[in-house]
């Protein structure tokens, strides 16, 4: 039976035709092409990379970037709904799209020169060229400012040394956006996969995001040509701007994962009979379902509000922090609760819930952990930093 998004508050009435259409086209694609194979991909630990060109064709890669660069040029609500639908399938699928669009295409668009935009964006939008985003290092997750990766100027370019960890798409990327310190300032570099001295190492034994590729990136005296510097990048705030884009998409994506779990649990509760009635008719089950639908409904309002603000250029990064923090925590809670409703059936890959639950552990941590977002918001409201 097909996935139904939650609309307890009748929020669909606030969506435009185009927004509804974007959601529908992605949902249809997901149901037809990805859902049938995602459980197996997850169990076997492989990413369905054969679908990338179709995702490109569908327009989901960098969907909120301008049409002049081959992108769909959708508004941010449509973009968000696309993320929701992808993650209703699997966080790994949405992660692929987030990395490609928000963490790679966006910085090329925002910090690259026109030549770089022309060279990369159209190919990336089409899914013919894959990117990854190298910011996190093995020992620097929550505080990237202390990164060790370093670029030194040489004739004709830069020599890059260092290592990045937990990089989605790393081993399949054609180009890596790598953040490194140049003269003490963090700058972005486009690193071609064939660069001598650049290697990747697959991160194995994951018990989360198994249908997604995670890698380490290693740079040993890599020569990066001058034209591969993202010229307008300057300082930590540049990668943080990318993270804000990605977090915005995650806030919507988490909604999708939550809806998928809730939808599954609700239907199960209506069909599973114990003690002579559907378990959805027991108070303890209703309490769980009601907490879930309430959490989802509030997260929907939050996403829509942020989307409308983003479209008018009024969205603040700290507001995105709230949405990322809140929605992922909500989704994780929903996944856990849904799991309990399904009883023993909840632990198999026959239902998407355990997979979502495991995936959301990564989502909770990446792109700013729950705790880091707490402290970002805390600093904003109190005027006091509590990081250190």
- Catalytic residues, which ones? 367
Contact 268, 345 (CB under 8 A): yes
Q: How far is CA 138 from the centre of its chain?
A: 20
- The Cα–Cα gap between 352 and 249 comes to 21
Measure the CA–CA gap between 95 and 373, rounded to whole angstroms: 19
Find the shortest distance in angstroms from Cβ 288 to its own copies.
Answer: 9
Instruction: Return the half-sphere exposure (C-beta side, CA atoms, 13 A cut-off) of residue 76.
Output: 23
Burial class from Cβ neighbours inside 10 Å (0-12, 13-18, 19+) for residue 10 reads exposed
Complex with its own copies: residue 10 or 194, whichever CB lies closer: 10
Q: Report in angstroms how near the CB of residue 173 gets to its own copies at its nearest.
A: 18
* Shortest reach from residue 104's CB to its own copies, in Å: 20
Q: Counting Cβ atoms within 10 Å, is residue 381 exposed (0-12), middle (13-18) or buried (19+)? A: exposed
**Residue carrying the six token digits 């310190």:** 181
For residue 60, how far is the Cα from the chain centroid?
13
How many CA atoms, within 13 angstroms, populate the side-chain half-sphere of residue 150? 7
Output DSSP code: residue 137: B
| CA dihedral sign, ordered 81, 306, 110, 194 | negative
Q: At its nearest, how many Å lie between its own copies and the CB of residue 131? A: 20
Evaluate the CA torsion angle 3, 95, 246, 59 in order and state its sign: negative
Q: How far apart are alpha carbons 215 and 91 in whole angstroms?
A: 17
In angstroms, give the least distance from the CB of 250 to its own copies. 15
Residue 251 has phi, psi (to 5 degrees) of -55, -40
Cβ(111)–Cβ(188) below 8 Å: yes
């Amino acid at each position: 039976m097909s996935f139904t998004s939650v609309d307890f508050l009748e929020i669909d009435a606030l969506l435009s035709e185009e927004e509804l259409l974007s959601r529908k086209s992605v949902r249809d694609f997901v149901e037809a092409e990805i859902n049938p194979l995602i459980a197996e991909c997850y169990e076997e630990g492989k990413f369905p990379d054969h679908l990338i060109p179709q995702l490109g064709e569908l327009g989901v890669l960098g969907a909120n970037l301008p049409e002049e660069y081959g992108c769909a040029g959708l508004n941010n609500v449509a973009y968000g709904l696309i993320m929701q639908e992808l993650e209703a399938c699997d966080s790994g699928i949405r992660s692929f799209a987030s990395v490609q669009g928000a963490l790679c295409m966006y910085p090329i668009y925002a910090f690259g020169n026109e030549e770089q935009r022309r060279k990369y964006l159209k190919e990336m939008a089409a899914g013919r060229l894959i990117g990854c985003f190298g910011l996190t290092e093995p020992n620097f997750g929550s505080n990237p400012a202390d990164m060790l990766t370093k670029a030194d100027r040489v004739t004709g370019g830069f020599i890059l040394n260092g290592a990045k960890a937990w990089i989605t798409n790393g081993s399949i990327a054609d180009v890596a956006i790598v953040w490194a310190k140049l003269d003490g300032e963090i700058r972005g570099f486009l690193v071609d996969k064939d660069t001598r001295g650049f290697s990747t190492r697959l991160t194995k034994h994951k018990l989360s995001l198994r249908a997604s590729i995670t890698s380490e990136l290693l740079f040993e005296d890599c020569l990066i040509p001058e034209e591969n510097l993202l010229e307008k990048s300057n300082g930590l705030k540049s990668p943080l701007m990318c993270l804000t884009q990605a977090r915005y998409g995650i806030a919507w994506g988490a909604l999708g994962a939550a809806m998928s779990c809730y939808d599954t649990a609700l239907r199960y509760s209506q069909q599973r009979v114990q003690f002579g009635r559907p378990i959805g008719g027991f108070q303890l089950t209703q309490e769980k379902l009601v907490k879930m639908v309430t959490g989802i409904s509030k997260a929907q309002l939050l996403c829509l509000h942020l989307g409308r603000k983003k479209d008018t250029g009024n969205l603040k990064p700290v507001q995105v922090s709230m949405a990322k923090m809140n929605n992922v925590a909500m989704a994780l809670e929903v996944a856990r609760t849904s799991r309990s409703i399904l009883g023993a059936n909840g632990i198999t890959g026959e239902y998407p819930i355990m997979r979502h639950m495991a995936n959301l552990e990564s989502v909770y941590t990446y792109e700013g952990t729950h705790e880091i977002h707490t402290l970002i918001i805390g600093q904003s409201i109190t005027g006091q930093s509590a990081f250190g």
